[in-house]
Amino acid sequence: MNQVAFTIGQLARSTDTKAVTIRYYEQIGLLPAVPRNSSGYRVYSEAERDRLLFIRRGRALGFSLDDVRELLELADHRQASCAAVDAKVEAHLEQVRERLRDLQGLEQELQRLLSCCQGGVIEECRIIDSLSR
C-alpha cells in the first residue's frame, strides 16, 4: 500500500487552504499534530487532507469552528446514530433561515429608503434625513 504524503505547501495547494490556516487548525486541535520528517517539515497524510476538506466544507456551509469540531467528533464515531448530526444541521438551517428573514427585512427597508430619494441635493435628501432620526 502506497501512502501519499503531503508537505504543508502541498496540502495547502491541494485543499485551497493557506498554510497559516492549516497551522491554526492544528493549534486549536481541529487537525491532529502530525509527525515531521528528518528535515523538520510536517508530513500530512490523506487522512489529514480529508479532515481538512471536511473542515473547509463545513466552514463553507457557515458552520462555526465549534460546530465543525462537534461534527468532527461525531464523524469519528462511525457506528453511532446520526441523530446528533441531523439535529446540528437542522439547528444551523434554522439560523440560516432566520438570517435570510433578517436580510429580506433589510432589503425592504433599503428599497423603501431608495424610493424616498428624489435626486436633489444632500441638504434635502430624504435618505439622509431618515437615517438622522
| Same domain (yes/no): 93, 119 | yes
50, 96: one domain: no
Place of cell 431608495: 114
Q: Are residues 34 and 61 in the same domain?
A: yes
For the stretch 19-65, pLDDT in tens is 999 999 999 999 999 988 888 888 999 999 999 999 999 999 999 99
What is the extent of the structural domain holding 98?
83-133
| Number of domains, the chain | 2
Q: Give the global pTM.
A: 0.81
Q: Tens digit of pLDDT for each residue in 79-122?
A: 888 999 999 999 999 999 999 999 999 999 899 888 887 777 77
Q: How far is CA 24 from the centre of its chain?
A: 14
User: Same domain, yes or no, for 62 and 89?
Assistant: no
pLDDT of residue 27: 96
Residues 60 and 116 in one domain: no
CB distance 22 to 31 below 8 Å? yes
User: Do 89 and 49 belong together in one domain?
Assistant: no
- Could you tell me if 12 and 40 lie in one domain? yes
Pair (7, 61) in one structural domain: yes
Residue ending a domain, among 80, 101, 117, is 80
Grid cell at residue 80: 453511532
- What's phi and psi for 21, nearest 5 deg? -70, -40
At 68, give phi and psi (nearest 5°).
-60, -40
At 67 the pLDDT is: 96
Q: What pLDDT is recorded for position 114? A: 84
Q: Do 75 and 128 belong to one domain?
A: no
